[in-house]
């Protein structure tokens, strides 16, 4: 019985390792971008803190720059409130432990209770830190 359980555990581990090896870095970054999109819409503090690097530099289209603490606080507090985010025309280029993502972002906001719309071109820089893709920098410009 112990042999069957041990064999089953080894088989599951081998299958999981094989599946992870088949997922490209581009796919992992794409997944991280989607996680970030959802975390921003949901104002999910834990997810935001997990996805962004300690040294985050987050540039708004207005020219305002936020760092990790301000970025997370502003999303969670509703000061910067995305009610909907759609991403289009996304490209991802991975070079070593850095990924450059470009996309168009449209969405609706409710910043400080004031409804609005955004239409942006966004540049994201992600870095692989200890096996996890973290948002290191972001810059947006108005379309």
| Residue 110, φ and ψ in degrees, nearest 5 | -145, 55
Proportion of the chain above pLDDT 90, given as a percent: 83
Residue 2 forms part of a structural domain: no
User: Beta strands 98-111 and 82-95: pairing type?
Assistant: antiparallel
Residue 137 forms part of a structural domain: yes
Residue 53 forms part of a structural domain: yes
pLDDT in tens, 33-64: 999 999 999 999 999 999 999 999 999 999 99
Out of 1-5, 21-25, 120-124, 137-141, which region has the weakest mean confidence (pLDDT)? 1-5
pLDDT in tens, 84-107: 999 999 999 999 999 999 999 999
pLDDT of residue 9: 55
**Residue 6: Cβ within 10 Å count:** 10
* CA-angle at 30, arms to 143 and 44, nearest 5°: 80
Residue 16 forms part of a structural domain: no
Residue 6 forms part of a structural domain: no
Residue 26 has pLDDT above 80, yes or no: yes
CATH assignment at residue 71: 3.10.450.50
The token duo for 25 is: 């870095």
The token duo for 24 is: 């490209």
Mean pLDDT, the chain, rounded, equals 91
pLDDT of residue 116: 96
Residue 29 forms part of a structural domain: yes
Which range of residues forms the domain containing residue 30? 25-142
Residue 7 forms part of a structural domain: no
- Give the separation between CA 103 and CA 87, rounded to whole angstroms: 6
Coil, strand, or helix at residue 90? strand
**Domain count of the chain?**
1
pLDDT of residue 68: 98
Residue 111 forms part of a structural domain: yes
């Amino acid at each position: 019985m112990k042999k069957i359980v041990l064999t089953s555990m080894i088989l599951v581990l081998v299958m999981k390792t094989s599946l992870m090896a088949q997922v490209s870095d581009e796919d992992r970054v794409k997944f991280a971008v989607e996680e970030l999109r959802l975390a921003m819409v949901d104002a999910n503090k834990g997810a935001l803190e997990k996805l962004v690097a300690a040294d985050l530099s987050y540039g708004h289209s207005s020219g305002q720059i936020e760092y990790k603490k301000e970025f997370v606080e502003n999303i969670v507090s509703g000061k910067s409130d995305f009610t909907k985010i759609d991403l289009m025309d996304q490209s991802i280029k991975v070079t070593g432990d850095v990924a450059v993502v470009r996309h168009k972002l449209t969405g609706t906001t409710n910043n400080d209770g004031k409804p609005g719309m955004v239409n942006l071109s966004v540049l994201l820089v992600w870095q692989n830190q200890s096996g996890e893709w973290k948002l290191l920098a972001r810059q947006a410009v108005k379309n």
